Structure 1
Amino acid sequence: MAPELRHLRYLLAVAEHGNFTRAAEELRVSQPTLSQQIKQLERILGVRLLDRSGRTVRPTDVGESYLHYARRALQDLAAAERAVHDVVDLTRGGLRLAVTPTFTTYLVGPLTEELYARHPGIALDVVETTQDRIESGLAADEFDLGIAFRGTHLPGLVGTALGTERLSLVVGATRSTPAPDAPPLPVRDLDAEHLALLSDDFATRGHIDEYFARHGVRPRIAVQANSIQALTEIVRRTPLATVLPDAIARDHPHLRPVAVDPPLPVRTVVLLRRESAYRSAAARAFERLTRDVVRARDDFPESAG
């Protein structure tokens, strides 16, 4: 007798939850049935896969090794099923897209608009998350594509450069700002600013902090938020400034960008995918569409190689 797919799914569920009860609830089977199936798998393989001696169920050493290949087998099977259901004429299909939060604000809307105009039969599933989570999700075949920033990516991921994103100091429209032909604000003047910034789990915040440290300025951080919408509302209603992509300020009628010297960071935007993943017709179409949409905007003024 050989292991069956249900054995692999049951083992993965127990390993992920560390508990037979919660795993059984997720799988919608009884706990005795789940326990019996795991024991059957262990008998087939002739090894002990789970350590049940503690309060939490943990994989044994050999269990960890087996789980690595079980996950890969289920990922490959899911990819095979998507390949079978892929429709080249794009009358139907699905795409799982992950993006970092700044792109949700000004890029996901135009991309979805264009996708729906060209291929209304494709269902789009968008997840907003951190770059680390995007990369781990691509590696685990949870996403088909990700839009993030160029950097040192996880092994097996490849990125296609889309262009560059510029950061700016941003203030509310009611606050007085330099005339358009005035010289940029010297970086040392930021010491006097009170800022509302993204929290430090955002990649954008890391770029901002590095810029401040490099130029020896220490503005007061009055507010931290994990939402760009919250930041734009705060800056719109208070004298606080923030740092956001140029595109957000340009698209928002109540915000104004302020040039700073030296300029704030520029980041290369990339479309990420897993190199060995099956590329569905929907994914290939979305890659082409993304390049078209980005080229048509002035938010990415420099081509990135």
Structure 2
Amino acid sequence: MVLELRHLRYLLAVAENGTFTRAAEELHISQPTLSQQIKQLERILGVQLLDRTGRTVRLTDAGEAYVHHARRALRDLAAAERAVHDVHDLTRGHLRLAVTPTFTAYLTGPLAAELHTRHPGITLTLREMTQDRIETGLLADEIDLGIAFTGSHLPGITTDELFTETLTLVTSAHHPAGHDRPLPVGDLAGHQLALLSGDFATRGHIDDYLARHGVSPRIAVEANSVQALTEVVQRTTLATALPDAITHDHPDLVPIPLDPPLPTRTVALLTRTDAYQSAAARAFTRLTHDLVRTRHYTGLGTGTAAGAEADLGRPAP
């Protein structure tokens, strides 16, 4: 009796669903067939992998250990298959990219357009998610590249620094506040603001900044969408705080520096340290550094790579 890949996939399906019924439905096979295949795997290994005595099926200690390695084995096999089919002349290919939400307002569009212009044969799957989800997705081989921020990262994540993102006050071009000099932070007490909601890391940076300087402006609008926020600010006298690069593509928005300035963050490409980098991923990395330089984003832009084997735990983006 020989161990086959289907045995691993079937075991993982049962472990993730908690019942043979749901796992069988997901796998599109009959429940008796699934049960027989799992018992076959247990005979091959000579251990019991599943505890079937409760209302839900649970992994035994041996099962927990085996599933951990089975997941990694299937992930590595999938990466190997992609590597075999990688086309180095970039006439075709596929890239799985994830970005934290604020980048969709100023960086994602130009990057996707540049990728399509240079390499129209490469298809792009683009997802917007929090940084912690990006990192777990990279480690699980669900994502090829992420765009987020440097800082503390999960073990096994490598960062490639791109540029320094500057937060600033952003208003309509018709806002009554003057644009010719930095605005003292104390003056914000007299302004009404429209801000991102608390599930954005950007909002945490802004709140910390305001608290540090003892300023409590009135928050007139909260939004969980950068696009909604920019639409509101363009049409009202409300001000917001966003990356100043957003104003590059919005002529109706202008940045107003604050005194002292809002905090900066270092933007980076994130990858899994030991991941195979496809031709499409390498091409995207090159064009990202090119675009950062041509659009004159501040700070780095030279692409210094640094391995990140830092501790767990960091603010959610």
Match of 1:4 in 2: 4
Contact kept, 8 Å, 1:131 with 1:203, in 2: the verdict is no
Match of 1:278 in 2: 276
What per-residue deviation string (whole Å, max 9, x for no partner) do you get for residues 218-277 of structure 1? Answer: 223333322111111222333332211111123123322222111111110101111101
2:292 to 277, 291, 294: 294
Contact kept, 8 Å, 2:149 with 2:268, in 1: the verdict is yes
Contact kept, 8 Å, 1:96 with 1:126, in 2: the verdict is yes
Output the CA distance in 1 between the equivalents of 2:205 and 2:198: 10
- Give the secondary-structure state (helix, strand or coil) at the position aligned to 2:53: coil
Question: How do residues 151-300 of structure 1 correspond to structure 2 at under 5 angstroms?
Answer: 151-180=151-180, 183-298=181-296, 300=297
Shift of 1:35: 2.3
Question: How do residues 113-124 of structure 1 correspond to structure 2 at under 5 angstroms?
Answer: 113-124=113-124
**Residue 42 (structure 2) pairs with residue 31 (structure 1):** no
What per-residue deviation string (whole Å, max 9, x for no partner) do you get for residues 54-74 of structure 1? Answer: 343332222111111001000
* Gap runs ≥5 in structure 1: none
Question: How do residues 142-157 of structure 1 correspond to structure 2 at under 5 angstroms?
Answer: 142-157=142-157
Aligned residues: 302
- Give the secondary-structure state (helix, strand or coil) at the position aligned to 1:137: helix
Contact kept, 8 Å, 1:15 with 1:59, in 2: the verdict is yes
Output the CA distance in 1 between the equivalents of 2:53 and 2:189: 57
What per-residue deviation string (whole Å, max 9, x for no partner) do you get for residues 80-119 of structure 1? Answer: 0001100111111111111111112211111122111221
- Which range moved further: 272-281 or 220-229? 220-229
Match of 1:40 in 2: 40
* Gap runs ≥5 in structure 2: 305-317
Shift of 1:206: 2.2
- Which range moved further: 250-259 or 76-85? 250-259
Q: Percent identical across equivalent pairs?
A: 71
User: RMSD over aligned Cα, in angstroms?
Assistant: 1.8
Output the CA distance in 1 between the equivalents of 2:238 and 2:35: 58
Contact kept, 8 Å, 2:179 with 2:256, in 1: the verdict is no
What per-residue deviation string (whole Å, max 9, x for no partner) do you get for residues 23-54 of structure 1? Answer: 22222222222222222222222222223333
Output the CA distance in 1 between the equivalents of 2:255 and 2:216: 20
Match of 1:127 in 2: 127
Contact kept, 8 Å, 1:235 with 1:241, in 2: the verdict is yes
Output the CA distance in 1 between the equivalents of 2:9 and 2:167: 45
Output the CA distance in 2 between the equivalents of 1:60 and 1:225: 45
